[in-house]
A and B are shown apart, each in its own frame.
Chain A
Amino acid sequence: MSGRTGVSTAFEKARAEGRAALVGYLPAGYPTVDGSIEALKVMVEAGCDVIEIGLPYSDPVMDGPTIQAAAQQALEGGIRTKDVLRVVEAVAATGAPTLVMTYWNPIEHYGGASRRIDGHSGVERFARDLASAGGAGLITPDLTPDSAGEWIAAADEHDLDKVFLVAPSSTPERIALTTAASRGFVYATAVMGVTGARTTTSDLAGPLVERTRATTELPIGVGLGVSNGDQAAEIAAYADGVIVGSAFVRTLLDHEGDLDAGLAALRALTEDLAGGVRRA
Chain B
Amino acid sequence: MTTTTKYDADELGYFGDTWGGRFMPEALVAALDELTVAWQEAMADPEFVDSFEAICREYAGTPSLLYHAERLSAQVGARVLLKREDLNHTGAHKIRNVLGQALLTKRMGKTRVIAETGAGQHGVASATAAAYFDLDCTVYMGAVDTRRQALNVARMQLLGAKVVPVESGSATLKDAINEALRDWVASVDHTAYLFGTAAGPHPFPSMVRDFTRGIGDEARAQCLEQYGALPDAIAACVGGGSNAIGLFTAFLDDESVEIHGFEPGGDGVETGRHAATIHAGDAGVLHGARTYVLQDEDGQTIESHSISAGLDYPGVGPQHAHLAATGRATYTPVTDAEAMEALALLSRTEGIIPAIESAHALHGGLEVARRLGQEKGPDATVVINLSGRGDKDMGTAIEWFGLGDAEEGPEADLPIEGGEQ
Which A residues fall within an 8 A CB radius of B? 57-65, 68, 72, 75, 80-81, 104-112, 114-118, 122, 141-144, 146-147, 164-171, 174, 178, 189, 191-194
Contact A170 B29 (CB under 8 A): yes
Contact partners of B374 in chain A: CB under 8 A: none
Contact A147 B182 (CB under 8 A): no
Contact B295 A105 (CB under 8 A): yes
Contact A62 B299 (CB under 8 A): no
Contact partners of B297 in chain A: CB under 8 A: 109, 111-112
Contact A105 B299 (CB under 8 A): yes
For B13-39 the 0/1 string (1 means CB < 8 A from A) is 000001001111111111100000000
The A/B interface has a contact count, at CB < 8 Å, of: 127
Contact A108 B285 (CB under 8 A): yes
Q: Closest CB-CB distance, A173 to chain B, in whole Å?
A: 10
Q: Closest CB-CB distance, A11 to chain B, in whole Å?
A: 21
Q: In the complex, what distance in Å separates the CA atom of A163 from the CA atom of B266? A: 41
Kindly report which residue of chain B lies nearest to residue A68, judged by CB atoms.
B168
Contact B18 A118 (CB under 8 A): yes
**Interface members, chain B 156-197 (any A CB < 8 Å):** 168-169, 174-175, 178, 181-182, 185-186, 188-189
Contact A61 B186 (CB under 8 A): no
B359 beta carbon closer than 8 Å to chain A? no
Most chain-B Cβ atoms within 10 A of its Cβ — which of A63, A105, A191? Answer: A105
Contact B23 A147 (CB under 8 A): yes
Q: In the complex, what distance in Å separates the CA atom of A66 from the CA atom of B12? A: 34
Contact A174 B174 (CB under 8 A): no
Contact B285 A58 (CB under 8 A): no
| Chain A contact surface mostly | loop
Contact partners of B23 in chain A: CB under 8 A: 104, 142-143, 147
Contact A109 B284 (CB under 8 A): yes
Q: Closest CB-CB distance, B173 to chain A, in whole Å?
A: 11
Contact A59 B169 (CB under 8 A): yes
Kindly report which residue of chain A lies nearest to residue B186, judged by CB atoms.
A193
Q: In the complex, what distance in Å separates the CA atom of A106 from the CA atom of B23? A: 13
Q: Which of A65, A106, A168, A169 contacts B298 (CB 8 A)?
A: A106
20 contacts between A and B (CB under 8 A): A57-B300, A58-B300, A59-B286, A61-B185, A62-B25, A63-B182, A109-B284, A115-B283, A115-B284, A117-B283, A144-B26, A167-B27, A170-B26, A170-B29, A189-B26, A192-B27, A192-B185, A193-B185, A194-B182, A194-B186
Q: In the complex, what distance in Å separates the CA atom of A182 from the CA atom of B286? A: 24
Q: In the complex, what distance in Å separates the CA atom of A167 from the CA atom of B182? A: 14
B282 beta carbon closer than 8 Å to chain A? yes
B392 beta carbon closer than 8 Å to chain A? no
Q: In the complex, what distance in Å separates the CA atom of A246 from the CA atom of B12? A: 34
Contact partners of A110 in chain B: CB under 8 A: 298-299
B301 beta carbon closer than 8 Å to chain A? yes
Task: Take A104-B23, A114-B283, A169-B27 as given contacts and tell me if A59 and B186 are in contact as well, using a CB distance cutoff of 8 Å.
Answer: no
Contact A62 B282 (CB under 8 A): no
Interface size class of B (residues with CB under 8 A): 35 or more
B328 beta carbon closer than 8 Å to chain A? no
Kindly report which residue of chain A lies nearest to residue B179, judged by CB atoms.
A61
Q: Closest CB-CB distance, B190 to chain A, in whole Å?
A: 11
B371 beta carbon closer than 8 Å to chain A? no
Q: Closest CB-CB distance, A107 to chain B, in whole Å?
A: 8
Contact partners of A193 in chain B: CB under 8 A: 182, 185-186
Q: Closest CB-CB distance, B201 to chain A, in whole Å?
A: 10
B325 beta carbon closer than 8 Å to chain A? yes
Kindly report which residue of chain B lies nearest to residue A169, judged by CB atoms.
B30
Q: In the complex, what distance in Å separates the CA atom of A164 from the CA atom of B29? A: 13
Contact A105 B22 (CB under 8 A): no
Q: Closest CB-CB distance, B250 to chain A, in whole Å?
A: 26
Q: In the complex, what distance in Å separates the CA atom of A57 from the CA atom of B169? A: 10
Contact partners of B288 in chain A: CB under 8 A: 142
Q: Which of A63, A64, A81, A105 contacts B286 (CB 8 A)?
A: A105
Q: In the complex, what distance in Å separates the CA atom of A143 from the CA atom of B185? A: 15
Contact B25 A141 (CB under 8 A): yes
The 3 closest A-B pairs by CB, nearest first: A109-B299, A167-B27, A193-B186
Q: Which of A60, A106, A178 contacts B299 (CB 8 A)?
A: A106
Most chain-B Cβ atoms within 10 A of its Cβ — which of A58, A141, A143? Answer: A58
Task: Take A104-B23, A144-B29 as given contacts and tell me if A192 and B178 are in contact as well, using a CB distance cutoff of 8 Å.
Answer: no
B293 beta carbon closer than 8 Å to chain A? yes
Q: Which of B168, B181, B287 contacts A72 (CB 8 A)?
A: B168
Q: In the complex, what distance in Å separates the CA atom of A95 from the CA atom of B27? A: 32
Contact partners of A80 in chain B: CB under 8 A: 298
Contact A105 B284 (CB under 8 A): yes
Contact A164 B301 (CB under 8 A): no
Contact partners of A147 in chain B: CB under 8 A: 21-23
Kindly report which residue of chain B lies nearest to residue A144, judged by CB atoms.
B26
Q: Which of B29, B185, B189, B293 contacts A174 (CB 8 A)?
A: B29
Q: In the complex, what distance in Å separates the CA atom of A111 from the CA atom of B286? A: 18
Most chain-B Cβ atoms within 10 A of its Cβ — which of A63, A64, A81, A109? Answer: A109
Contact partners of B18 in chain A: CB under 8 A: 118
Task: Take A109-B282, A109-B298 as given contacts and tell me if A192 and B26 are in contact as well, using a CB distance cutoff of 8 Å.
Answer: no
**Interface members, chain B 277-318 (any A CB < 8 Å):** 282-288, 293, 295, 297-301
Contact partners of A60 in chain B: CB under 8 A: 178
Contact B300 A171 (CB under 8 A): no
